Structure 1
């Protein structure tokens, strides 16, 4: 690869006019990121299965009970659960309250990424990173989901901003103990804080001067001991209980490598990361990987310390995955997306920095690389910007069961009963039934596998009928469904099977959810 262009090293010392434009682009990206997150929040989509499960734990448990293993195969850090519980108590049990903390975390993360980018990136890379972070699907979506992934991401960034300025400093005792205390607080609010905390601090020690390293370790030893003791307590009191959950372990097991020599798993996991949780799709997936590699090479040549610190949380998480202690999968590693985005942005900025229109004849080859950089950057930025723009006017929905239940409430007769299919619908039904004034005698959480495409044997159908026997004294029943791919299953599977039970009277459909009213035989 060619040596870095002369103008690249001085990117942060750009002419005032160019620097002003770049800063304006950065703040425009932050503003757009806030607007699109607020738009998603205000749209107030229905809670889907996992959100409803965690909401039921938050609403129905006390603060002390939230320290125990959660119901419905859920796991979340106690700090996150306590904030959610407090928010619900203050603002009421509703979607806005439950999503407020993730929203605040999502907005704070935009500013935190900007600060981290100011330290780690060239000036041109900062607006690119912010545009990507503001618009990419999954960092955007999880900023308004009732799960801990948005706060995991934000806490990781805040830890970076805390630790990086302290790299080569000898701290006073008060600050050492404060550092230890903040580390424990971060762990109790985020399962993934330990990867950022340990990774960044270890990278800082490795890259510090040899003459000073020993003094830094001795100086911060109390903080390290506090972290170690705090993590040990947290692990045995909270995490170890979640690890005993067989359902969680079964769902996580495919995301672990087979051995420490499982390179194919590493390459596959690395490639899949750019699709989810980063959110690149189609050809942009490969372009993002290419630009990430360019960014790594650029940072390696320009400042190896910054590269090591940026990738240290990634390396720490991969180490935990190889030890089968933390799954390297989709939303569970959303907190790593900022570090990938920063490196991708640096790769794009390097390619763009090769462009010099004023000296096209003398530097023709360099300009070709710069033009290539414009094309690459456009492919990276334009699709997520377009998608985010669509979300601004058509906010994303998932399984809209709430308006379905609202319709039923308006059109039902006094003795009508609600019957929800198994899985996520049961959680949604249990959460929303109470909010709409249904007692537990007015709804039934029922069958599983009713939506499978495979033919139902006579024996399986008898099992269903035994479950439906709960409704034998209720002639009119509303059957509720929500989940993935329901549109295709409604005519093909659901109606023919329900027709065996009685006569269809009414139907209501919303995105990802629908309900039938049947007069039972």
Structure 2
């Protein structure tokens, strides 16, 4: 009788691509089937879209940074925006041109100037869901989408006249083909697509250079290991393209644009630079930076308030690396490393505010989502795991809703933002009754030395929104008469200044000064409620009996 033998099935042939996919497609824990995850992703994506639309629909008044940038669209055409900006502002040229086009097409308003950032914010939510599904699986995907969708900063910046929303969108546009190639590694066309996306992304976002550089660092080793000439050639072309764009946008245009503002920016950014002159303080600074506002997703802040998110990112990075996704971890985290290098060179801060690092929002969303997914998988009891997941989703919903409710109840960033708009909303229409209204600054070129407008930026932007004359293209000086006088507004200037006296002398050569009126306006500045009195002066002119006005019919017209 023959001895009994045990027959075992032969091991399947090893597929070099399959292990990568299997490591990504980890089996979802009980209670988190693919249908449940898909529903959570769809619900969080919809919530993110609604939150951004709700923020935009509130129509909040311009706040300081918006005014400082938006005032540049009042007196400049497209070519003028290529020159150094007023108020120490630095912004990518493509973003400036899109905003200028919005003003030409839709007029100057909160709605028109915030439309492009809104579109970037909405597109980012949808694209992030696509990218997260490429990078993660199971509950990690839902967690990542939820974190990105409801985070305070991406929602806020999707309704601001600043390029922060386009920073996040540009980073996502670059990540999409890169992560798709890392998943499949089945051809070069995605790398060529990445090459084609580099110019527009860097034209619309200055910090996108960190995202692009980090992505190429993450792709370098996997692409080279393929041994295929097409992939290697595409990657080399991407590197050369990035180098050329960096020279053009940052060493060329960017250096010219920021030349006058760079010292002021460095002072403002100084908390985001490591104290290299005091090496003993560098570890503490680094710990604070890596647990501070840069990682404030879905919420958080400075001084370690974002430590939980930082820890989740660390857990997620380790988990992904252990599952064979090390190249993806490098592509996601290397942009932060490049930002740290730039901070050490005092070229760009690492923090201290989340808005300056919106390019990192996709990275933090994916890594934190992976960390949350790993922590959920570590909970062995299915009912407890499900309860924790439901509580987490409820918390995410609250993160999306609570800030919007607060914003509806307090519709302004700072008290002066609201005060400036409310005053302008009544002042300009009332001043325009039976009169031609002009601005001494915009219509008669009365400028103060330098490029810092300060409080005048609020005045200019709110005038552009609420003045009937400004919305109509500027004052019609040929309509000035005794019955319809010219009322010219001078904002917060000392009338004894030589420039003001010279302007009044020129005006009196064409008009008779009928009256002067001073309007003191109390304004609240800063978190401490500092009261500042702004003085608005209204000069009312009528034509001289023997001389017609010699100024242009429409001096407020802006060149295209």
TM-score tier (shorter):
0.7 to 0.9
| CA–CA distance in structure 2, aligned partners of residues 427 and 139 of structure 1 | 25
Q: Deviations over 1:57-113 (max 9, x none)?
A: 224212122111112211100111111111222222222111111000000000111
| CA–CA distance in structure 2, aligned partners of residues 92 and 158 of structure 1 | 29
Q: Partner of 1:144: helix, strand, or coil?
A: coil
Q: Partner of 1:102: helix, strand, or coil?
A: helix
| CA–CA distance in structure 1, aligned partners of residues 239 and 370 of structure 2 | 32
Q: Partner of 1:279: helix, strand, or coil?
A: coil
- In our comparison, the structure showing a higher alpha carbon Rg is 2
Task: Normalising by structure 1, report the TM-score.
Answer: 0.76
Structure 2 spans left out of the alignment, 5+ residues? 1-21, 442-451, 476-485, 505-514, 536-560
User: Aligned to 2:457, which of 413, 427, 433?
Assistant: 427
Q: Deviations over 1:18-53 (max 9, x none)?
A: 321221111111111111211221221121222122
User: Aligned to 1:102, which of 117, 120, 125?
Assistant: 117
1:79–1:410 CA distance, 2 compared to 1 (3 A): closer
1:286–1:179 CA distance, 2 compared to 1 (3 A): closer
1:339 pairs with 2:363:
yes
User: Aligned to 1:385, which of 362, 383, 400?
Assistant: 400
Q: Partner of 1:139: helix, strand, or coil?
A: helix
What is the match of residue 72 of structure 1? 87
| CA–CA distance in structure 2, aligned partners of residues 154 and 43 of structure 1 | 22
| CA–CA distance in structure 2, aligned partners of residues 213 and 258 of structure 1 | 44
> Following superposition of structure 1 onto structure 2, how do residues 157-176 of structure 1 map, counting pairs within 5 Å?
157-167=172-182, 168=185, 171=188
| CA–CA distance in structure 1, aligned partners of residues 169 and 213 of structure 2 | 16
1:382–1:164 CA distance, 2 compared to 1 (3 A): closer
1:83 pairs with 2:107:
no
1:446 pairs with 2:446:
no
User: Aligned to 1:128, which of 121, 134, 143?
Assistant: 143
1:406 pairs with 2:405:
no
| Farther off after superposition, 387-396 or 218-227 | 387-396
Question: 8 Å contact 1:99–1:144 — kept in the other structure?
Answer: yes
Structure 1 spans left out of the alignment, 5+ residues? 1-6, 361-366, 448-463, 499-521
What is the match of residue 271 of structure 1? 291
What is the match of residue 450 of structure 1? none
RMSD over equivalenced CA pairs, Å: 3.9
| CA–CA distance in structure 1, aligned partners of residues 292 and 394 of structure 2 | 18
Q: What is the count of residue pairs matched by the alignment? A: 459
What is the match of residue 455 of structure 1? none
Give the number of the structure whose residues are more often helix, by fraction.
1
| CA–CA distance in structure 1, aligned partners of residues 523 and 144 of structure 2 | 40
1:254 pairs with 2:241:
no
Instruction: Give 1:277 deviation, angstroms.
Output: 7.5
Instruction: Give 1:484 deviation, angstroms.
Output: 2.7
Q: Partner of 1:60: helix, strand, or coil?
A: coil
Question: 8 Å contact 2:94–2:203 — kept in the other structure?
Answer: yes
Q: Deviations over 1:315-373 (max 9, x none)?
A: 22222222222122211112212211221122122222233446x8xxxxxx6xx4896
